[in-house]
Amino acid sequence: MPMYRARIAGTGSYLPEKVLTNFDIEKLVDTTDQWIRERTGIERRHIAADGEFTSDLAFQATKKALLAAKMNADEIEFIILATVTPDQPMPNTACILQTKLGLAGIPAIDVSAACSGFIYALSIADQFIRTGMYKNILVVGAETIHPFVNYKDREICILFGDAAGAFIVSRAAPDDPNTIYSTHLRAEGSLGDLFVLAGGGCRHPINQESIEQGHGYMKMKGREIFKNAVRTMSSACQLALETNKVGIDQVDWLVPHQANWRIMEAVANHFNFPKEKVVSVVHEMGNTSAATVPVAFDMAVKDGRIQRGQTILLTAFGAGLTSGSALLRY
Ligand code: UT7
C-alpha cells in the first residue's frame, strides 16, 4: 500500500468581536489587571455574541483557511472538529459545520480531548492522509467556553475565551519537503480530577440539582494543572524531536497550547529554547482550549513570523489529562 504524507495547505482563525479585558474582570471578582498579566500574560479574551455558537466560529475560521489554501469547500473530504464546548451533545458540531459549508455526504466527527483536541484531530487527519484514504481534510479547533465559566471563580474566569482555528490538511506531492513529520498523543486518565466540567453528561444530567451543585461550570486545580502542563508538553516535545532526530536548534517556532505565558516559558526553558521563538498570542485571547494552537499558528502565519519551509513544533496539554505534539515543516 502506498504511504502518503500530509501538508498544511492553509490556515485560518476567528476571534469573536466582543472583548472582555482584565479591567472588565476586575469588576467581577477580587483580582487586578496587574496580577492577571504577571501570573498569566493574558490581557483580554474574546467572547462569542448571543446566538453565536462553536459551529459559527468554526465556519468563520474554515472560510479563511479555504481562502489561504486556495481551495473550494467541496474539495474537503472529511471534517474533524476538536471541541469540548459543542453547540449541543447531538448531532455533533462537525455535522452542523458541514451544513454551514454547504457540503453533504462527507464524514464529520467531533474529537473530545479538551485543550489537546486539535493535536489529536491533526493526528487523526495525518493518519487518513498517510493511508491514502483522503486527500483534503478540514481540521478545526473551536470553542465557545464562556457559558461554562463561573464569573465568580477568579482562578477560572481570568483565563478562558472563545475562538476557532482551522487547518486544511492535504496530501503532499511526493517531492514536497513541507510535510507533517510525526504526531504523538498521550493521556493520563488517573489525573482527570484536576480539571473537570461535570454537568451535561449521564452522570450529572442537566437538572435543577446539578445546576445548584455547580456542575455546569469548569472546576480546576490550577497549581497542579500548571505543573502537569509543563511536564507533559515538555515530554511530548522531546518525543517528537527524538523520533525525527531533529535538534531543538533546528526548530524555527514552538507553538504551544496558549494557557498561560509562564507555562509556555517553562517549556521553552526546559529545552533552553529562545523565548522569542515561542509563538504566544495568549495576551490577546487567553485560553481558548482546542482553538489555541491553530489560532496561534494562523496568527503567526498571517503576521509573517511563520514562513513556508520552516520547522514548527506544536504541543498541547488539557483536561483528561491529555497531551500531544506534532512536528512539521510548514
Ligand atoms: O488548559 C489548561 C487549563 N488550565 C490552566 O492552564 C491553568 C494552569 N494554572 C495556572 O495558569 C495558574 O495556576 C493560575 C493562573 C490559575 C494561578 O496562578 P498561580 O501563580 O499558580 O497562583 P496560585 O494558585 O499559586 O495562587 C497564588 C495566590 C493565592 O493566594 P494566597 O493563597 O497566596 O493568599 C490565590 O488565592 O494568588 C491568589 N489568586 C489570585 N489573586 C488575584 C488566585 N487567583 C487569583 C486572581 N487574582 N485571579
Encode pLDDT of 46-100 as tens digits.
999 999 999 999 999 999 999 999 999 999 999 999 999 999 999 999 999 999 9
Average pLDDT of span 145-168:
97
Residues 239 and 271 grouped into a single domain: yes
Rounded Cα distance, 237 and 14, in Å: 27
Q: Which phi and psi (to 5°) does residue 53 adopt?
A: -120, 175
CATH number at residue 133: 3.40.47.10
pLDDT at 302: 97
1 pLDDT exceeds 70? no
273-298 confidence digits (pLDDT tens):
999 999 999 999 999 999 999 999 99
* Whether 118 and 12 share a structural domain: yes
- Whether residue 161 is found in the same domain as residue 235: no
* Mean pLDDT score, 247-273: 97
Among 144, 171, 198, residue at a domain's last position: 171
- The DSSP bridge partners found for residue 141 are 82, 165
pLDDT at 5: 97
Q: What is the Å distance from ligand 1's center to 222 Cα?
A: 6
Q: Is the pLDDT of residue 2 over 90?
A: no
**Within a domain: 101:** yes
Query: In this structure, are 166 and 188 located in the same domain?
Result: no
- Same domain, yes or no: 32 and 79: yes
For residues 221, 34, 264, 266, the Cα torsion angle rounded to the nearest 10 degrees is: -80
Q: Which run of H or of E encompasses 155? A: helix 154-157
Q: Is the CB of 31 under 6 A from ligand 1?
A: yes
- Check whether residue 195 and residue 322 sit in a common domain: yes
- Domain co-membership, 199 together with 119: no
Predicted pLDDT of residue 116: 98
> 20 C-alpha to center of ligand 1: Å?
19
Q: Is 117 found in the same domain as 24?
A: yes
Supply the DSSP symbol for 270.
H
**Count of domains forming the chain:** 2
Active-site choice (46, 95, 115, 260): 115
Q: Which residue has the cell 504511504?
A: 3
- For this structure, is 202 an active site residue? no
Domain end position, chosen among 118, 144, 171 = 171
- Burial class of residue 28, CB neighbours in 10 A (0-12, 13-18, 19+): middle
Distances, alpha carbon 226 to alpha carbons 29, 89, 110, 233, 317, in Å: 21, 29, 26, 11, 10
Q: Which of 122, 153, 171 is the last residue of a domain?
A: 171
- Examine residue 80 and state whether it is found in any structural domain, yes or no: yes
Pocket test for ligand 1, best of 34, 35, 155, 287 (most atoms within 8 A of CB): 155
Output the average pLDDT for the chain. Answer: 97
Q: Does residue 238 lie within any of the structural domains?
A: yes
Q: What is the pLDDT of residues 109-144, one digit of tens each?
A: 999 999 999 999 999 999 999 999 999 999 999 999
23 forms bridges with which residues in the sheet? none
How many Cα atoms sit within 13 Å of 43 on the Cβ side?
4
Query: Residue 319 — pLDDT band, cuts 50, 70, 90?
Result: very high
The mean pLDDT of 11-38, rounded to a whole number, is 98
Q: How far apart are CA 316 and CA 136, in angstroms?
A: 24
Does this model's pTM top 0.85? yes
**Domain of 93?**
6-171
Nearest to 262 by CA among 146, 159, 189: 159
Co-location of 26 and 75 in the same domain: yes
**Residue 229 pLDDT greater than 80, yes or no:** yes
CA of 293 to the centre of ligand 1 (A): 22
Asked whether residue 270 is assigned to any structural domain, the reply reads yes
Q: How confident is the model at residue 28 (pLDDT cuts 50, 70, 90)?
A: very high
316 within 8 A of 324, measured Cβ to Cβ: yes
**Are 184 and 315 members of one domain?**
yes
Q: Is 17 exposed, middle or buried (0-12, 13-18, 19+ CB in 10 A)?
A: exposed
| Range 253-264 average pLDDT | 97
CA 243 to chain centre: 23
Q: Is 287 a catalytic residue?
A: yes
Task: For residue 1, tell me if it sits in a domain.
Answer: no
Which pLDDT score is estimated for 323? 98
Q: Strand ranges (DSSP E) for 188-310? A: 195-196, 219-220, 253-256
Of 57, 60, 64, 66, nearest in space to 9 by CA: 66
Same domain? 104 vs 225: no
58 lines ligand 1 (CB under 6 A): no
Please indicate, yes or no, whether residues 189 and 158 belong to a single structural domain of this protein: no
